[in-house]
Amino acid sequence: MDAPGTALVVDHDKSRVLALAELVKGLGFEPVIHTTALGAREFLHSRPELDVILCEFDMEGLTWDATRRSVPELDHQIPIVLISDEACAESMMRALRWGASDFFVRPLDDIEALERSLERCRRQRQVRRELERSRKRLEAANTELRGTIKVLEQDQQAGRQVQMRMLPSTPMVLDDYVFSHTVIPSLYLSGDFTDYFTVGDRHVTFLMADVSGHGSSSAFATVLLKNLFARKRSDLLRKNDDAIYSPVAMLKQANLELMDLEVGKFATMVVGVVDTQENTLRYSVAGHLPQPVLVSQEGARYLRGEGSAVGIMADAHYEEHFIDLPDSFMLALFSDGILEILPPKNLIEKENYFIRVFEETADSPEELVTRLGLDRVETAPDDIAALFISKRD
């Protein structure tokens, strides 16, 4: 045998129980003797580490009906070998139906058969013990994992609150201009970000960013972009650095800072500057889809622009576009998460459907949000951010 085992030997006949205990001991098991059914039952209630129970089939004080009810309640799963003076087929079948592992008839002449039976019981108990240890380890690991997940969820929720506070107030009203936004994260933290703020007396700089991936690392990249634009706004006053007026300059700086971050993140972006006095727009696109949509009395159209996403190539090139805005208009920018919830299957059909929604629903950002179903989306397959700039006569 690989290791010694422990056997509970139960028989009301003292001479037989001692002889059986001596035999069991010779087969490598440490015997524990009980001569009453009540004593054995109380012993089992202490949940001992046993490998096998050898019990007299016709034990005094032991009835099959009572045993059938009481022993399974102990949930020990200890193999039981029954021993009888009679080779009765009915008794054997009854014992096996009850759940006995083996049945022997006195005299115990075939010691090797008994030894194999006890060894089989011992291995069975070893397997069950290992399964029980594995179950306990798994339960402990699951408990630890649940605790870790709860802490992470709390951290994510806290991060979400911080990220939401980073967003600009909505709506921001400047005379005839209204700036507003909405963000629907697919997780607690969003890789989509939008911002807008006044620069001087007549300009508003805005941005839409869609950082690759999801979760904390993507959210950290949005913090970097927020900080970059805040710094450049401050540099205009402190250092006379006018980069905040230049969408191309801001994209180049964002490109360098994301690459220096070295976390494998990149972002598609749209950066624009509205001159509220001249009613003009200067903007640049960095690989962003869908492209900005301008809606006016003349209809809805995409504002075209090309350029690489920021954070990929050090020598990325960006184009700056300048347009005169209509007297009355709505400019809408979305992250690409909006494309995931549109009905059409392919990108071209989605873009065509998208522009049709604008043509049919151009009264207000609120109506557009309703038409696109954003007011009914609780969780999305991808982050969705939307920025609206409106002007009414």
The tokens for 154 are 């709390």
- Tell me the per-residue pLDDT of 100-111, one tens digit each, with 9 for 90 and over: 888 899 999 899
Q: Identify the DSSP state of 62.
A: -
Continuous segment of H or E residues that includes residue 166: helix 111-166
> Read out DSSP for 322-365?
EEEPPSSEEEEEE-THHHHTSS-SSHHHHHHHHHHHHHH--S-H
* pLDDT at position 331: 95
- What average pLDDT does the segment 357-384 reach? 75
pLDDT of residue 75 exceeding 60, the answer is no
* pLDDT at position 242: 94
Q: Which one has a higher pLDDT value, 387 or 61?
A: 387
Q: Which one has a higher pLDDT value, 215 or 20?
A: 20
- What average pLDDT does the segment 46-68 reach? 78
Q: How does strand 52-56 pair with strand 80-84? A: parallel
Residues comprising the chain, all counted: 393
The tokens for 246 are 């230049």
* pLDDT at position 65: 55
- Tell me the per-residue pLDDT of 310-324, one tens digit each, with 9 for 90 and over: 999 988 999 999 999
- Tell me the per-residue pLDDT of 149-187, one tens digit each, with 9 for 90 and over: 787 767 667 666 676 777 888 899 999 999 999 887 766
Q: What rounded mean pLDDT belongs to the chain?
A: 86
Q: Which of 333, 330, 339, 342 is nearest to 299 (CA)?
A: 330
Confidence grade of residue 1 (pLDDT, cut at 50, 70, 90): very low
- Tell me the per-residue pLDDT of 182-237, one tens digit each, with 9 for 90 and over: 887 766 667 788 999 999 999 999 999 999 877 777 888 888 999 999 999 999 98
Decide if 239 contacts 179 (C-beta within 8 A): no
Decide if 351 contacts 300 (C-beta within 8 A): no
* pLDDT at position 3: 56
Q: Which one has a higher pLDDT value, 289 or 382?
A: 289
> Read out DSSP for 63-98?
-HHHHHHHHHHH-----EEEEESS--HHHHHHHHHH
pTM for the whole structure: 0.65
Q: Identify the DSSP state of 325.
A: P
C-alpha atoms less than 13 angstroms from C-alpha of 161 in its C-beta half-sphere: 5
Share of the chain above pLDDT 70, in %: 90
- What whole-number distance in Å separates Cα of residue 44 and Cα of residue 29? 18
Confidence grade of residue 118 (pLDDT, cut at 50, 70, 90): very high
- Cα of first residue to Cα of last residue in the chain, in angstroms, is 95
- In the block, tokens 């019990």 appear at 55
Type of residue found at 21: A
